[in-house]
Amino acid sequence: MTTKVLGWAVLACSLFTLGNAPQSLAQGNAAKSDLGQIAEEAYVYGYPLVTMEMTRRVMTNTPAPSGTHAPMGQFLRMRAYPTAQFRDVTAPNADTLYSTAWLDLSAEPYVLSLPDMNDRYFLMPMLSGWTDVFAVPGKRTTGTMAQTYVITGPGWNGTIPEGLKEIKAPTALVWILGRTYCTGTPEDYKAVHAIMDQYSLTPLSAYGKPYTPPVGKADPAIDMKTAVREQVNALDGAAYFSLLAKLMRQNPPAAADTPMVAKLKTIGIVPGQDFDAAQVDPAVAAALKAAPKPGVEAIMGHFKKAGRMENGWTFTTNTGLYGTDYLQRAFITAIGLGANRPQDAVYPTSEADAAGQKYSGANKYVLHFEKGQTPPADGFWSLTMYDAAYFFVDNPLNRYTISARNALKANADGSVDVYIQNESPGQDKEANWLPAPKGEFILMMRLYWPREKAPSIIDGSWTIPGVKRVK
């Protein structure tokens, strides 16, 4: 998602599989003609780390948990799904409630405690400062019994309390982006709230002792109105690369980044060392100054060039773990920070029907699943309706999403039809009705814990059917 103050995963996960990262240049001392290319590559490389830091500043700029903000080391717990009046975050989710937290592991580890989930679907993906999902406690990976972890930062050496499992984070900056399944009924809200209230974060030094989180600090100098992506893109070269160098002190590059680290050195950026653009060679300073514009263009330019499209749906299965595909990583960061691994979620999105025509509430549509061919997910699947701006659509049923939990009615042959239109298809079909606005709209399918064996969206053995207009 994107928002005025932060970006979350959902929108990006629905997009495209990108092409290759920028072409590699020779290592060592670069010719002056190469400086511009190296600076641009360095901009793309550092984009996730800079964006994570800017997002952290905004999301934690509060004395206590409130709204979409919480101080460092404390959980923000989203208590309800947004309504059609909600306008803070695009592509909102009506399947899982968020529990998010930002950690700084540079001083000491944190202990994460999760209660017995009673078989309820949940996941607690942890993102490094570079946006790689390095661990995913959850129903898919660790089960639903009570579990407790010690999350340690790079270079930490200490004793792990007995009975706790260590999760080693590659960076000091960590974002926990937890999700807990909820049907949205009053009864289930109550049950999920009781679970979420037991999600606990404690500094290791306070583990096993009474602990009250400290009051956070609100810095009035932090821009809380401008979208984070816009703030990042507005940084000039000197400010951008100075911040990148500073962040790499506690958030070191991966071992696989060694060739890129060598390139950074040619333009005066060395992990762990301060960087002052005023002190570098004038040719290097000029290259760094010019880098943001082509860097942003390179990141966003891949939106139209790559991807997997099926019957009017576009999506990617290349998220969460990026290796040295820096352009892919930067693109997902820009469009939807917080993307899951594909084994946890895939988000196909459609703006046009099977015939390639944009959706309109003036028409009626059907999404038809043959018998046994509903979206294959070991967690669950859903189909969400958004207006043209990626917000929920007000409707008589207060229904923003449809899924198996709606007790969909099957046809006589076992197939299932989902009716997508503005007006009711009739009382006998309303169980399968996803209400649409009168104007243009967008559909997003969510497959949580998509099946990895055939039929599977991950390996392409399951194909999403196209949405067909009813003549």
Closest of 394, 376, 327 to residue 41, by C-alpha = 327
Q: Which residue has the higher pLDDT, 445 or 6?
A: 445
For residues 29 and 266, is the Cβ–Cβ distance under 8 A?
yes
Q: Taking all residues of the chain, what is their mean pLDDT, rounded to a whole number?
A: 90
Find the mean pLDDT for residues 231-239: 95
pLDDT of the residue at 5: 38
pLDDT of the residue at 330: 93
pLDDT of the residue at 18: 29
pLDDT of the residue at 336: 77
For residues 304 and 331, is the Cβ–Cβ distance under 8 A?
no
pLDDT of the residue at 67: 86
For residues 337 and 6, is the Cβ–Cβ distance under 8 A?
yes
pLDDT above 50 (res 3): no
Least confident of 3-12, 257-266, 346-355: 3-12
In order of start, what are the domains of the chain with their CATH numbers? 62-206 (2.60.40.1610), 348-469 (2.60.120.600)
pLDDT above 90 (res 24): no
Over the stretch 106-126, which tens digit does the pLDDT of each residue have? 999 999 999 999 999 999 999
pLDDT of the residue at 244: 97
Rounded CA-CA distance 466/369 in Å is 10
pLDDT above 50 (res 446): yes
pLDDT of the residue at 304: 60
pLDDT of the residue at 158: 93
Could you tell me what percent of the chain has a pLDDT over 70?
A: 92
pLDDT level of residue 305 (50, 70, 90 thresholds): low
Could you tell me what percent of the chain has a pLDDT over 90?
A: 81
Q: List the beta bridge partners of residue 113.
A: 148, 200
Over the stretch 45-73, which tens digit does the pLDDT of each residue have? 999 999 999 999 999 999 999 988 999 99
pLDDT level of residue 22 (50, 70, 90 thresholds): very low
pLDDT above 90 (res 92): no
The pTM is what? 0.89
Q: List the beta bridge partners of residue 122.
A: 180
pLDDT of the residue at 297: 94
Over the stretch 178-229, which tens digit does the pLDDT of each residue have? 999 999 999 999 999 999 999 999 999 999 999 999 999 999 999 999 889 8
pLDDT level of residue 302 (50, 70, 90 thresholds): low
Q: What six digits make up the tokens of 437? A: 């606005």
Residues 6+ apart with CB under 8 A from 95: 181, 182, 380, 382, 401, 403, 446, 448
- Which DSSP string do the residues of 281-342 spell out, in sequence order? -HHHHHHHHHSHHHHHHHHHHTTTT--EEETTEEE-S--S--TT-HHHHHHHHHHHTTPPPT
Residues 6+ apart with CB under 8 A from 387: 393, 437, 439, 440, 441, 442
pLDDT of the residue at 68: 87
pLDDT of the residue at 33: 57
Find the mean pLDDT for residues 428-437: 97
pLDDT above 60 (res 103): yes
Find the mean pLDDT for residues 319-329: 94
Find the mean pLDDT for residues 32-43: 88
Find the mean pLDDT for residues 311-330: 93
pLDDT above 80 (res 298): yes
For residues 128 and 170, is the Cβ–Cβ distance under 8 A?
yes
Least confident of 151-160, 284-293, 294-303: 294-303
Give, in order, the Cα–Cα distances in Å from 141 to each of 101, 316, 376, 401, 449: 20, 21, 18, 26, 10
pLDDT of the residue at 91: 85
**How many other CB atoms are there within 10 angstroms of residue 293's CB atom?**
13
pLDDT level of residue 307 (50, 70, 90 thresholds): low
pLDDT above 60 (res 21): no
pLDDT above 50 (res 1): no
